Every structure is written in structure tokens, then in C-alpha cells.
Structure 1
């Protein structure tokens, strides 16, 4: 059984990926300093998979503490690196904090991969690496424009760092560029738990609908899209999680054609912010209280994925519709209220 280290394993995508990995025969340990996550979410994951999940509370920006995890687990055979700050707006306000955390942690985890001869590495990247593309949908070969936010810049830099690192050692890597993860596990035992006011659209919708927030804001209605609001590719978190398992399968099977391999993870459809709001209202039966305000710094106008490569080479197929995504997000919010 291959042992996989998942960094940021208490985070939203990390914990769903842990569940998918265990259900597909992998052994998993997590590293998460819980600065942006709640370790209690692992209890939900443990209920789903029926076993304990070990988490090391370690700051990956501290190389000595990070190496301690590898010293205690010399049988690690693969790494999935999620751990990063991810709020676009916050990154505009605090760029140095984002560069320090997101780049420093990646460099340290790659140093450990090299030192402990761990050759299978999956990097959590993002569609933000494309900036404001000239044409959509974007393919993996779409030229990258300047990042619209420091967060996006850290993902661009992260990809460059991984690409350079694999040239000088035996690491085989896959970069997964995912679009906008939403929804929750169908069990409602795990889901997204934003700290403070949500920076992402769907938890802002559900928290407003349930009354945690008095109202939510739509950032801009004068973009060149169908209704003036930003257009994105929303993908269910369980679909994204399974792609990480498939990526590891590809690496362990030595079936990657190049190093690193790059895959877009999106549904291939774009929806505007207002369309997502209306989909939520339809599936939940709740009328949302929202206001439309000025544009927010760092936001890309419109982007969605061409996912043909992931479908053909990863054998990956997104399963959830937008309505199903909204329904699962709402059920998770209701479950949180009962907890």
C-alpha cells in the first residue's frame, strides 16, 4: 500500500482528497498547521472511511519541522501539495504574506521530496495561472497572461518551481489546474468551512441564505459577459478530489508522457455569478438577499476549461451538474447549522 502525504489535509479540497485516496486503496497522512482550517474536519473524514487519519500540526515554512514528518514516515511514496493561502482579495491586500507562505512551503516540501527520494508529486495549481486569457475555453497550452492577483502569481511561480525541480532530480510531477471548487461530500460529513467572512462565492451564498450573513455582494455587473457578472467554471469538490487519485495512479503506473504533466480540472462550462445565484435559489427554494457593487481587485473577467486532456489521459469525468453542486453545498450548510 502506497503511503501518501497530503499537505493541507484539513483544508477543503485536501480533506475530500484524503477520503477519495483511502477509498481507492491508499494510506494517507496529513500535514496542516490549521492556520486556515479546522482539524475537526478530519473526524468527518474518519467516519466516512472508517479509520483514523493522522495529522501533523506543522508549518511547512519551517524546514526542520517539515523534515521531522518525513523522518517519522520514511515509507512515504507520494506527495500531494495543497497547503497554501488561497483568497484572491486577501492576496491583493497582503501580497508578501502570500509569497512567503505559498512559495516557501512549496520549496521546503520539494527539498524533502528530493532528500527522501520521493518521486511522485502532485501540485495543486489553479486556473488563475492563465490570467485574463484572450480566448476561452482555455487549454493546457493557452499562453499565460500576467496574474491578476498575488495569489495567482504564487501559482504561476509554483508551477515554474516544480518544472525546474523535476529537471534536476528524479521527481515525477503532475500539475492540476483546477477551476472553482464547490459543493460538499454527499454524506454531509465534510465540506467547506471558511474562516471569517467567506472569500469564495458559494459559501457566501449559503451563509447568506441561512442567515449567518445579512447580505452578499456581487462584485461588478459591467463585465463583458452574458449578464455583466464574472464568469467561471464551477466544479464539484469530489470530482476534483478524485482527479488527484487518478493523477497518482498515473504516476505510480509510470504512464505520464512528459514531466511534469499538466491537466485542467473543470466541467468545460462557464456560469456567471448571477447564474450561480439563480441556480442556488432554484435548488434550495430560498430567495437570496444580495447586492451588486463595484468590481473587486484581482478578479478575472471570464474563464472556463477545455478538459479534454484530463478526460482522455486521466480517464477523469466530472459527474456533478451545477444544480447538484448547489444542492450539496446547501445540505452541508444545513448540516453545519445542526451540529
Structure 2
């Protein structure tokens, strides 16, 4: 693709990834053009390069207005595990976006931010690293199903209309102290599992006072390995995918080079922060999201590994 003056529509722009992408794009001197944020309940502060409009992604007229004169779409909007709204957003909303894009004279590329929920996350055992050729294996719940349906719909628009698009399949996205809030027996834990529920209340309180962290074990009793990506690495992949020729009609796993290993994390935190760990058994399965394709075709390279992510989460805190 030639360098063009971009006009990018961002759905889900007020979320973690949308906000980070917006800031990174506007701060990058190499990125020329403007952004349009389609917001539902929350909002952003507009500026000369950022237009904000409000409305529901499930409304056809709203989406048509949002896509007008747009060159690129970054689709992030999702309601997570909300059965009441998920089909309106993930299916109906995506359908109106794709329909508007294929009929647009200015449209260049559609970027869907998918997730490893479409290939089972850690719910199912995998004999091999998970590549982009892995069959869809949604785990129970409406969110994982929606991620499968989104990727399927986008792929069919490649087939039906030769639409230019790509899917960046991201696992659990981390930034700042997210990992420290995850590795805690506090009630205000980040993500799942909720470790304090896996022990009795008194034991949970003792672990909190002692600043102990959970060492997650998989179904085989080994330290859990699960896929993660740092927010900055995902955003860098998004920036690359906007114009890269080899991104057209492709799906890419965007993850750390190696999965996050809870055993190695426990050892590292004990060594660097004197934080002790407690084994926590689960029925989940260790997984490995292979990012080789993104590195080979896009030239993308994650900067964050386990140590960098833990350093980022703990910062200067010494427990």
C-alpha cells in the first residue's frame, strides 16, 4: 500500500486498547491523518485530529455516518459476557460496519481485534502450539462464541467481496500493575481466577497480610502457562497492520514470544521482590499462542517478556 492520509474509525475507543491506540497514533509523527471515535456510553475529549461521535454500533444509520469518508476501521467494541447485548454489538454491529465499508469509495482496510477466546483460551488441552490454522473452539459462554462469529464473518467478507482486512488475535492484555492486581488474594483481583475464593476466608486474609501470590497450576499439576500480551506490543502491531501489504486478509496471533509461566514468575518475584507464592490447583490447561506468523510477515516483534511485564507491574514496589 502507498502512504495515504488516513481517516480511521475506532469503535470501542474509550476502552483500554482503544484509548491506548488513539494516544499512540496521535503522538506518532509518522502517522498522518485523523481519527473518528464512535462512542456509546463514555466519551473522549476531541481535538483537531480526533472527532467524537455518539451512538449505538447496532444502529444502521449511525454506522453509515460513522464510516462516511473513512479509510480504515479499527473494531474493538465488545460487551464481554453480556448475553443481552452481545449479538447486537458483535454480530449486528460488525455486519453494519462491514456492509458500510464494502460500499464505501474511500475504504482501504478493516482491522478486527480478536482474541484467543476463539480458539479455547486455556479451557481445552492442545497438543501443539496454537497457530492461526487452529480450528475455532469457543469455550462456554457468549463472549467466546462472539469472537468465533466475528472472525468467521470477516473471513466471509474476504471471500464474498474481496474486502481488505485483517484480524489481530490477542490473548489477555496487560499494562501497568495489572499483573500485580491479578496475582493477589485480595477481593479486588484483576481478571480470573478469583484466588481468594479458592481458599477459606481466614486463609485468604493471611495470604493477603503476608503478601503471598498464587502459583497457578494446570490440570496436570504443572505451573500454568497462559498467553498474554502487553498493551504496548498490541498497539504496535495495530499500527503496523494499518498499511502493511502482507496483512491483507490475514489472521495474526499477537502474543508474547513465550507464554506467561506462573512458576517462573513466582521464582522471579521471590528473587527480585522477596514475594512468596502458594500453589493454586486448577482444571485449566497450559497453552502456547504461536506468534511466528506476525513476526515473519509483518516484521512485528514484542518487546515485553515475562520479566519485563513483572517489572512493569511491580515497578519500584518492594513487598
Tell me, yes or no, if structure 1 residue 31 matches structure 2 residue 27: no
Aligned to 1:2: 6
Q: Between 159-168 and 240-249, report the one with greater CA deviation.
A: 159-168
- In 1, the alpha carbon distance for the partners of 2:110 and 2:268 equals 36
Task: Please give the residue correspondences for 1:181-220 in structure 2 after superposition, counting only pairs within 5 Å.
Answer: 181-184=173-176, 200=191
Q: Report the alpha carbon displacement of residue 99 of structure 1 after superposing the two structures with TM.
A: 3.0
- In 1, the alpha carbon distance for the partners of 2:89 and 2:269 equals 34
Q: Structure 1, residues 273-322: CA drift from partner, whole Å, max 9, x if none?
A: 56556656766x48589895876xxxx52222211111111110001122
Q: Report the alpha carbon displacement of residue 202 of structure 1 after superposing the two structures with TM.
A: 11
Q: Structure 1, residues 143-197: CA drift from partner, whole Å, max 9, x if none?
A: 3334343211111111110111222324201111112211149xxxxxxxxxx96
SS of equivalent to 1:95: coil
Tell me, yes or no, if structure 1 residue 178 matches structure 2 residue 170: yes
- In 1, the alpha carbon distance for the partners of 2:60 and 2:266 equals 43
Tell me, yes or no, if structure 1 residue 235 matches structure 2 residue 229: yes
SS of equivalent to 1:181: strand
Aligned to 1:267: 256
Distance 1:218 1:261, change over 3 A: same
Aligned to 2:59: 62
Question: 5+ residue gaps in structure 2?
Answer: 178-186, 197-207
**Contact in 2 for aligned 1:217/1:293 (Cα 8 Å):** no
Q: Between 267-276 and 234-243, report the one with greater CA deviation.
A: 267-276
Q: Report the alpha carbon displacement of residue 113 of structure 1 after superposing the two structures with TM.
A: 1.1
TM-score, normalised with respect to structure 2: 0.74
**Contact in 2 for aligned 1:59/1:65 (Cα 8 Å):** yes
**Contact in 2 for aligned 1:204/1:216 (Cα 8 Å):** no
Aligned to 1:193: none
- In 2, the alpha carbon distance for the partners of 1:34 and 1:282 equals 44
- Over aligned residue pairs, what C-alpha RMSD do you find? 3.7
SS of equivalent to 2:10: strand
Distance 1:249 1:221, change over 3 A: same
SS of equivalent to 1:5: strand
**Contact in 2 for aligned 1:279/1:322 (Cα 8 Å):** no
SS of equivalent to 2:243: helix
- In 1, the alpha carbon distance for the partners of 2:15 and 2:212 equals 23
Tell me, yes or no, if structure 1 residue 138 matches structure 2 residue 97: no
The total of aligned residue pairs comes to 285
- In 2, the alpha carbon distance for the partners of 1:218 and 1:34 equals 36
Question: 5+ residue gaps in structure 1?
Answer: 186-195, 206-212, 335-339
Distance 1:78 1:220, change over 3 A: same
1:248 to 242, 249, 254: 242
Aligned to 1:97: 85
Distance 1:69 1:142, change over 3 A: closer
Aligned to 2:182: none
